[in-house]
Structure formats: C-alpha cells, structure tokens
Amino acid sequence: MQGDAVEFQVKDKEINTKRTSPTERFLAELPVQVAKAFLFEGKIRPVAFTVSEESLPVKDEALLQRQFPNMKRQLLVVGAEEPSEEIQNLSGRQIGVIFSGGPASGGNNVLSGILKALGRYNTLIGFEKGPDGLIKGEGLLISSKKMKQLINTGGFDYLGTGRTKIDTPEKFAAVLKTVQKYSLDGIIIVGGDDSNTNAIELAEFLSEQHNAGILAKPCAVVGVPKTIDGDLQINVGGKTLLPISFGFYTAARVYSKTIGNLLTDAASQGKNWFFYKVMGRSASHIALEVALQTRPHISLISEEIAAREQSLSDIVTYMTGVVVHRAKNGKHYGVGVIPEGIIEFIPEMKKLINELNKLSARLMTIKRALTDAGLLTENGFLGEQKVKELEEQYGVDNILTHPHILGLDYKISEIGFVAREQELSTRVKKDFIITAQELSDESRKLFMSLPDDIVEAMLLDRDEHGNLKVSQIPSENLLIRMMKERLRDMQQNPKRYEESGDLILADDTERKNFLKFVFAVQTGFLGYEGRCGAPTRFDADYSLNLGLTAGSLALGGQTGYMASMINLSSGAQPIGIPLAALIHGEERKGVIKPVIEKALITLDSPAFQAYVKNRDHWAEGNSSRSPGAIQYEGRLAAMMPLVVALNMKIITMGEIEAGKYPVYNIGERRDIFL
C-alpha cells in the first residue's frame, strides 16, 4: 500500500462499494494513457523538471515584487529523455492534497496520478472538505487500494471539497501547524483560478516561514487546473501552455447530450422552443463547445455581447428575429443555448450590477459599524434618538428608516413595526434601492423596469468576493419575457413592423404562418449534473497526467507552479507553469487583490470564428446534431474538445463538416493499479 514506509496518525476511509455500479466497476478497470515522459523501463515514474530558458512575461511586476518576491517566473520543462534517478529514488516524502472549489470530473484520476508519481516509498495525505481540512489538520491516507476502485469515476466525494479561502493570519498559521504536524514536503491544490491564486499565496507564505527558520524544511505548493468553466487556459506568444482545465469536456458533453436530445424533441413535435442556460460563471467556453457540438438554432456568447456593446434590446431583437424567420417558414420550434454569466456582460446590466455591489458593500459596512458600536441592543432595538446621528455619520439617506434592508431584525422602538427582510415586498425594496446614492439615472431607470423575480435575484447575498451570484438570476426568463412582448406586438401590429423593415413577409403563406404562430417555451438550467459524471476518456487521461505532473513538481520541491500538459494530439509533454506569471491586480470588495485572470473567449479565436461563420446557417435548423452519450470504448472514445482542437489548429471546421473529428493522443495506455 502507498505510504507503508512512513507511520502517520491519519484517518482511513473506506470506499462505499454499495455505490459502485456495474458501469463504475467497468470504468475503473479501463487502462489510461500515460505520457512517454513518465514511462521508464515499462514502469510509471516521476520526472525531474529543469528551468527553461524561456521566462514568461509578467502582468504586474510591481505587484509581484511586493507580494511574491520568492516566486519564480521561468517555465519548467522535462530536462532529459530519461527520468532522473535522483527523483526516482526519493523516499520518506509526505505530500498533502486538497480539492478546492466546485467539483469536476477527473479528480480521482488526479489523485491516482499523484500516487503513481510518489511511488511506494512516499506518502499522499488528503485533507477533506478542501482548505478547511488543511486548516483543521486532519489527514486522510490515500492509498492505491482505495484509488483502484475510484479511478476513471466522477466526483470529489472521497475527499470532498470546499470554497474556504486561506486569507487571514489565523488561517495561514493553522496551515503552518498542519505542515509541521505531518512534516509535509509539499501541498497540491486542485482548483480553479481563485484556488490557484490561493496556491501562490500559500507558496509565498511557506517560503517565508522556511527562510525565517520557522519551518524546518521547504514545503512546495503546486496547483492543478480544475474548472468545468474552461476559463483556465494559457496562451503566451502564440504558444499554448495550458489548453484547458480538466472537467470541462465531460461537463460540455453531458450538456451537449441534453441539448441534442432537445433538438430532436423540438423537431419531433414541431411546436415548442427550448431555452436552456448552461453553466459558466464568467466565460462562455461551455456554451461555445455545446454550440459546436449540437448546432442549436440560437446560441449566445457573452464575450461577443460585451465586445459589441449589445444592449438587452439588441439581444432580444436578434433572438426574436431567428424565431420569426423560422415561424414564417412553418418552423414553430427551436432550441436556444444561453451562457450562465450573460447578465454581467450586457453593458447596462453590468453597470447596474456594479452599482448594486457598491451599495451592498456600503450597507455591510454600516451593518458592521452598528453592531461593533453596540448600538443594537440584545433584543434588537435601535434607539430612536440615534437615527439622525447615524444618518449624518454614514450618509445613508433614508436607510435607517428601513433597517430591514441591512438584514437586521430590529425595531425603531418598542412599539415600532418589526420588519424582516424576507417579509418585505419587492416594491418596498425597490423604493429603497432607487434612492441610493450609488445608482446612476440610467441604472435607476433600468432597475425599475425589471420584473420582480429578476430584482429579487439581484438583491440576494453576494459571494465571498462581494460579487453577484449570476447563477441565481433567471436571465433566460428575462430574455424570454421580452421576446414574448416583442412577438405579441409584432403579431398585433404587423404592418408597422413591415413598414420599418423589422418584419419581412414575402407572401400570404409566410404571413399566415407567422400570425398563427404560438410562442410556447420551455426553460432549464444545465449545471450541477455536468460536474461529477464519469469523465470522458479525454478527461480521465488528461487528469491522470496532470496528477503525475503535479506529483513530480511537488517531489522536486518546485513551489509556486501549476501542472500542465501540452501537445495533446501528438504525444503530450508535462510542463510547470509559474503562477507568478499569471497574477494581476483586480478589485475585490473595493481593494486591489492579486488574482489569476480568467481566460475569456477571444473573438479572433478559430473556435469562435467557426461558430460565427456557421450560426446563421444553423438557425435555419437543417444542421442540428445530437452527439449522444459519452463513449468509453471504440474510436469515438478518443475525441477531444472541439474548442481546444480548433484553437490549437488540430482540425478545421471544414474537416469537421466532412465527417472528421479531432482525436487526442497523450501516450501509451497502461493499467494503473495492477
């Protein structure tokens, strides 16, 4: 068993075999591709990295010098054709690992890859529930016996995950204790952009502790790129250093199967429109991949909307135009794909949301001030005499006549009205919000025009960064409601729209088809069901090699790096990307913080251009595709993400149209746990 050479006071956790279906047992027995660099004399071994001559350009030199002076900026590459004997012979090393953020398919293969890199004489210790487990310091021994049952299956359920950030002196001190308790030589953080930002912060902290003599030996911190959103991609000077994060392709294929089924269903019954929102907090990579896979009649890309400064009205005009064109040709059905984060990319909505976020931050400041000053008594009363004084002190307009807006349950006086936030009508909230000093005239007008369900969603709690949780906003409902109003007006006043050129009806047949058209709509959100499915063969193989890379980096003491694999279609190679080169300053809760910038869709990318050139044709409805279920054996199992293949110029859209499909080739297939 892995880790037998070192004794630790760590927990053991059994696998729940009752949850292991025949499919999962089948998947666990499948061999996995291993890159040539990790194979030596037929066995899987770690690799030694050397510093490349290539230094990556940094985004904010002053920020790095100030906050990460100990972090390197050079790319790491495999230094020799054969693995270094020194790293192969290492023993007694203890490496910790956590999952951070939302789940993604391939996590179990990352753990399996790390284990294989560490070998028999080093130990892998997992910490449950993400950063919280690292803070609490309760380790879990990860062994080959356990991972043999979990490899190639989905979910983070063995270790769990969490969204806690290690961001206070107390939390950093707690992690330091955990490092000392288990004598850790390395920590691997599997996560997205925020989690990898936390990784470099922890790497800098532990380097400082070692340099100061507080930590007896170095502890390397390594990141692994994980997010279904696909917004961890790195391209520098025309070179692809990180093609995609693991979990993206599985989620996109799960959603594509559903969209493909809906396309067939819509055509079968011929009377319904389906509008489905797909996950993707900021970037629209998933929406683009789903569009390329299925070719729906309408697809929206948030980045294009922002770049072209399209308003809500512009978007509704485009969507309505597609619906009308199909309706007048007798096609009263269709499917639309909407990215989750679209609301923040519409210019006027983005401005409103930013202003509401500022208002939210001010309200929370006031709430803390009231509480810290002891102005709220135990029974929740606020002395009436304090109202005027507080209004003058905080410039809060009429907020203290609406104390419930703060989320505090208290009265103005003993006989005053008790107001709870959840008991308030949306109208009361609107009446308060429009008086706030943060709202511009344009935003105030827009806010008052929004339906109540949108307003309610926009006033819900912010995330840990003070930002709106866009998944809670039913953006698809807003667009559909506006489309219905536009269509109703067009059908009631067709001549007016014909005179303006916004409605073209060539003959009586088209007129009859359009006027009798009933806009019947079904909506849905494709999100959580895509995060923990059994990984595609691409994600299974890719994530295992990311684990091998991360394990090798940690064993080699390479701190502040993120694992990556390049050249995925022609024998992949492992590299280490310096996290320092990815950092830039971004405002979070009114303060500039170091963060890794999200990779959004660029409008000149081959994948986006392929979509643009074909979307009008797809809107006609003669090109829709149903990709079907994920394949685990056979030639279709080797397919890779279309956005990756197109952007890396592995394949062209013309070749895809001709029936070809992109295939990945990471390395030789091996049975990982014999």
pLDDT, one tens digit per residue, over 424-466 is 556 666 776 777 778 899 999 998 888 888 887 787 666 665 5
Residues 575 and 611 in one domain: no
- For the chain, what is the domain count? 3
- pLDDT at residue 391 in the model: 57
> 335: which strand partners?
274
Beta strand 94-99 with 186-191 is parallel
Q: Say whether both 118 and 206 belong to one domain.
A: yes
Residue 358 belongs to a domain: yes
End-to-end CA distance of the chain: 12
The two three-digit tokens of residue 185, written as one number: 């030589």
Residues 282 and 194 reside in one and the same domain: no
pLDDT of residue 183 exceeding 90, the answer is yes
Q: pLDDT value at position 80?
A: 61
In a domain? residue 639: no
Together in a domain, 76 and 194: yes
pLDDT at 1 over 60: no
Say which residues have a Cβ less than 8 Å from residue 127's Cβ, sequence separation at least 6: 96, 97, 98, 133, 134, 136, 137, 138, 139, 140, 159, 178
| Averaged pLDDT for residues 55-62 | 88
Average confidence (pLDDT) over 531-537: 96
| Distance (Å, whole) CA 615 – CA 291 | 9
Q: Evaluate if residue 68 carries a pLDDT over 50.
A: yes
Asked if pLDDT for residue 418 goes beyond 50, the answer is: no
pLDDT of residue 342: 95
Using one digit for the tens of pLDDT, what is the confidence trace for 467-511? 667 777 889 999 999 999 999 999 999 999 999 999 999 999 999
Chain position carrying tokens 């204790």:
177
Instruction: Say whether pLDDT at 398 is over 80.
Output: no
659 within domain boundaries:
no
Residues 391-404, mean pLDDT to the nearest whole number: 51
Enclosing domain of residue 373? 347-467
pLDDT tens for 563-585 read: 999 999 999 999 999 999 999 99
Among 27-41, 49-63, 331-345, the minimum mean pLDDT is found in 49-63
Q: Where among 467, 482, 509 does a domain terminate? A: 467
Q: Please tell me the predicted confidence (pLDDT) of residue 369.
A: 66
Low-confidence winner among 51-55, 432-436, 558-562, 633-637 (lowest mean pLDDT): 432-436
Residue 4 falls in the annotated catalytic set: no
- When pLDDT is averaged across residues 248-261 and rounded to a whole number, the result is 98
Mean pLDDT, to the nearest integer, of 23-44? 95
Task: Report the CATH number at residue 268.
Answer: 3.40.50.460
Assigned token pair, 635: 């030639």
Report residue 673's pLDDT band, with 50, 70 and 90 as the boundaries. very high
Q: How confident is the model at residue 416 (pLDDT cuts 50, 70, 90)?
A: very low
Where does a domain end: 440, 467, 494? 467
Q: From CA 231, how far away is CA 339, in angstroms rounded?
A: 13
Nearest Cα to Cα of residue 576 among 542, 553, 547: 553
31 domain residue, yes or no: no
For residue 429, the model assigns a pLDDT of: 67
Share of the chain above pLDDT 90, in %: 74
Residue where a domain terminates, one of 551, 579, 596: 596
- The three-class DSSP label of residue 592 is strand
- Weakest-pLDDT range from 46-50, 204-208, 416-420, 591-595: 416-420
pLDDT of residue 4: 39
DSSP 611: H
Could you give the CA distance from residue 255 to residue 296 in angstroms, rounded to a whole number? 12
Q: Place 345 in a pLDDT band, splitting at 50, 70 and 90.
A: very high
Q: Let me know: does 578 contact 52? Beta carbons within 8 Å.
A: no
CA Rg value for the chain = 27
Q: Which of 463-467, 578-582, 626-630, 647-651 has the lowest mean pLDDT?
A: 463-467
Q: Indicate if 539 and 527 belong to the same structural domain.
A: no
Same domain, 84 and 167: yes
What value does the mean pLDDT take over residues 61-71?
A: 95
Distance CA 98, CA 480 (A): 41
Question: Which stretches within 7-158 are classed as H helix?
Answer: 22-28, 61-67, 85-88, 107-118, 131-136, 144-150
Query: Phi first, then psi: what are they for 25, rounded to 5°?
Result: -65, -40
Q: Contact, 630 vs 254, CB < 8 A?
A: yes
Strand order in the sheet with 273-278: 298-299, 334-339, 273-278, 521-526
| Structural domain includes residue 369 | yes
Check whether 653 has a pLDDT greater than 70. yes
Query: Are 236 and 123 in a shared domain?
Result: yes
> What is the reported pLDDT for 151?
97
Average pLDDT estimate for 96-114: 98
Question: Which is catalytic among the residues 132, 185, 194, 229?
Answer: 229
Query: What integer pLDDT is reported at residue 379 of this predicted model?
Result: 46
In sequence order, what DSSP letters do the residues of 485-545 get, joined into one string? HHHHHHHH-HHHHHHHTS----SHHHHHHHHH----EEEEEE-GGGTSSPPPHHHHHHHHH
| DSSP 8-state code for residue 156 | S
Average pLDDT over residues 62-83: 87
CATH code of the domain covering residue 590: 3.40.50.450
| Alpha-carbon span 544 to 125, nearest angstrom | 17
Categorize the per-residue pLDDT at 646 as very low, low, confident or very high, splitting at 50, 70 and 90: very high
Instruction: Examine residue 653 and state whether it is found in any structural domain, yes or no.
Output: no
For 148-174, what is each residue's pLDDT tens digit? 999 999 999 999 999 999 999 999 999
Residues 579, 487: one domain?
Answer: no
Q: How confident is the model at residue 587 (pLDDT cuts 50, 70, 90)?
A: confident
314-324 mean pLDDT: 98
Give pLDDT, residue 464: 60
**More confident call, 397 vs 637:** 637
| C-alpha to C-alpha distance for 527 and 540, rounded to whole angstroms | 20
357: confidence class by pLDDT, cuts 50, 70, 90: confident
Which residue, chain included where needed, has tokens 């489905």?
276
Phi, psi of 561 (to 5 degrees): -120, 155
643 in a structural domain: no
Query: Do residues 78 and 224 share a domain?
Result: yes
Q: Comparing 459 with 345, which gets the higher pLDDT?
A: 345
**Run of H or E including 358:** helix 347-372
Rounded Cα distance between 271 and 265, Å, is: 10
Asked whether residue 78 is domain-assigned, the answer is yes
What does the alpha-carbon distance between residue 111 and residue 150 come to, in Å, rounded to a whole number? 10
Cα dihedral sign, 35-37-40-46: negative
Q: Could you tell me if 100 and 196 lie in one domain?
A: yes
Nearest to 190 by CA among 241, 137, 252, 114: 114
Among residues 345, 209, 224, 338, the alpha carbon closest in space to that of 286 is found at 338
172 and 46 within one domain? yes
Q: Are residues 47 and 114 in the same domain?
A: yes
**Residue 482 neighbours by CB distance under 10 Å:** 18
pLDDT surpasses 70 at 420: no
